[in-house]
Amino acid sequence: MIETNTSPAADAGPTALAVSLRGVTKAYDNGVEALGPLDLAVRKGEFVSLLGPSGCGKSTALRLIAGLAAPSSGTVRVARHEGEAQPGHGIGFVFQEPTLMPWASVRENVRLPLKLGGVARAEARARVDAALASVGLADFADAFPRELSGGMKMRVSLARALVTDPDILLMDEPFAALDEITRFRLNNDLLALWRNLRKTVIFVTHSVFESVYLSQRVVVMTARPGRIQADLRIETVEPRAEEFRTSAAYSDYCRKVSAALAPSYSGQSLL
């Protein structure tokens, strides 16, 4: 059951929920039990990472939150503004692959969600340019995807997710294919965006280090069907920056998260 929650009570106060999953399970038609039962509550403006072994249902959980799939049982609630009744509204999705249209310019790629939403070209132009500027690509609006590096393509994908000004940003291992330096840079850019735009972010990653660096909370999932194994709060001096990566507190948190993750991998061969 997918619900749109627009009641004033649920919107009130700093602890209002952006996303709430209660007893959610997902079994696919082929009989694979991918998820759950999963209970997860994410507050508005929170940055939460989902961490867990391959196949534990992380992408499935994001798809359920985005309304791209329906749960087999349980409730998925997503807070939205009035007038945004359709599933997917108010949500930006960044996939693992940038999935850009190779024949279209960067500007046209980022305009796509607005075009699909019927926004007039003139109005879209300003919004696309603002989204591109927010990810540092103002000078590349007329470039084509083949002319961009992997990191730049990912920035385009992020701009495309931001262009509709969603309240909630779902990110599915967006930086996994990038080299480490580019990934670190994009981590910092994402944190700056999150601070400025105050969006709710649910970020899927396989990297303990990345999850601790970015998130206020790391949610560790069990092996399939994915449930919550641990829910750890990462507290440090904000705004966090590169110094955090080399701090003792950072190593400590990474150790704790790794320890919480270990049981999810037990019995799994790495070969």
Ligand X SMILES: Nc1ncnc2c1ncn2[C@@H]1O[C@H](COP(=O)(O)OP(=O)(O)OP(=O)(O)O)[C@@H](O)[C@H]1O
Minimum Å gap between C-beta 170 and ligand X is 12
Count of residues engaged in binding Mg ion, rule: CB under 5 A: 1
Judge residue 185's burial from the number of C-beta atoms within 10 Å of its C-beta, 0-12 exposed, 13-18 middle, 19 or more buried.
middle
Quick one: which of 193, 206, 188 has its CA closest to 243?
188
Yes or no: say if 234 and 217 are a contact pair by the CB < 8 Å rule: yes
Could you tell me the smallest distance in angstroms from the CB atom of residue 93 to Mg ion? 12
Decide: 13 and 7 in contact? Cβ < 8 Å.
no
Q: Tell the smallest beta-carbon distance from residue 28 to ligand X (Å).
A: 3
CB of 164 to ligand X, least distance (A): 24
Helix (H, G, I), strand (E, B), or coil: what is residue 219?
Answer: strand
Report the residue number whose CB is nearest to Mg ion: 59
Give the type of residue at 224. Answer: R
- First-to-final CA distance of the chain: 38
Instruction: In angstroms, give the least distance from the CB of 234 to ligand X.
Output: 21
CB of 18 to Mg ion, least distance (A): 21
Comparison of 73 and 149: residue with beta carbon closer to ligand X: 73
Closer CB to Mg ion, 59 or 200, in the complex: 59
Q: Which is nearer to ligand X, 59 or 187 (CB)?
A: 59
Residues 6+ apart with CB under 8 A from 164: 92, 113, 114, 117
Interface with ligand X by CB under 6 A: which residues?
28, 30, 32, 34, 52, 54-60, 224
Question: Residues 59-88: x/- map of binding to Mg ion (CB under 5 A)?
Answer: x-----------------------------
Q: Closest distance between ligand X and the C-beta of residue 92, in Å?
A: 18
Pick what 92 binds: ligand X, Mg ion, none; C-beta below 5 to 8 Å, kind-dependent.
Answer: none
Query: CB under 8 Å to 81, separation ≥6 — which residues?
Result: 6, 90, 167
**CA-CA distances (angstroms) from residue 195 to 142, 185, 201, 226?**
28, 16, 11, 30
- Residue closer to ligand X, measured from CB, 20 or 205: 205
Nearest residue to 116 (alpha-carbon basis) of 88, 97, 96: 88
Q: Are 113 and 119 in contact (CB under 8 A)?
A: no
The secondary element (H helix, E strand) that includes residue 115 is helix 106-116
Q: Is 49 in the site for Mg ion (CB under 5 A)?
A: no
Instruction: Work out what residue 42 binds among Mg ion, ligand X, none; the CB cut-off runs from 5 to 8 Å by kind.
Output: none
Residue closer to ligand X, measured from CB, 50 or 163? 50
- CB under 5 to 8 A by kind: which of ligand X, Mg ion, none does 34 bind? ligand X
Binding site partner of 224, from Mg ion, ligand X, none, Cβ cut-off 5-8 A by kind = ligand X
**Contact set with Mg ion (CB under 5 A):** 59
